[in-house]
Structure 1
Amino acid sequence: HIIREIKALQEIEDHENIVKLLDVFPHGMGYIFVFEYMLSDLSEVIRNVNQPLTTSHIKSYMRMLLNGVSFCHENRIMHRDLKPANLLISTTGHLKIADFGLARIFDKAKPQ
């Protein structure tokens, strides 16, 4: 599933709502993935009782999520594991989709 994640990320690496893969290198029996720094994830933001989400934050996060998902689908990538822990948030509040380990590249000509 590591090769699948690398291939999926390479297909869609230049989108503002997809986490950027900076490097991959072997380590023991596995690989180390180096991604751009992201401060937090949406699950942490949701659980933060000191800063509840406003309606405008929710709309903004949804817009960024749908923008990223649409781009994935336009490029034949199905993420298959969208959840708050896989939606990373930058220091500026920008949402990016991460963890493409379960992703699949699909053929538009074949019914899925």
Structure 2
Amino acid sequence: MSDYALIFGTSPLVSLGITLVLGGGCAVMTGRALALNWRPDWQLVVYALLLGVADRFLIFALFQGELLSLSGYFADALALVLIAATAFKATRALQMVRQYPWLYRRRGFLSWEKIGG
């Protein structure tokens, strides 16, 4: 068993594929949905941690990975939190500029600024 498998409970290809492709897509949709419904950003962490549980289960059920790998769960959950937070901030920035064009303008991909101030 490789060092990676000992730490993360599965192979790198499985971990990246399930976590980034499948879980990452779900995290993007979660971040966007929370932003579009004007939910607070702390809810994002709760949902992303639950996605991490689902991610661990899929790795276990489909690829015989280790289900109770704590380090694997934390790595997967951290990646999903970061992906969901990026989608949340990008959507919220676009939302603020579109809904209040007389007050705000875009300042980069993830932020906005007040016009004239």
After TM superposition, the score normalised by the length of structure 2 is 0.33
TM-score computed with the length of structure 1 as normaliser: 0.34
Q: Which has the larger radius of gyration?
A: 2
Q: Which has the higher helix share?
A: 2
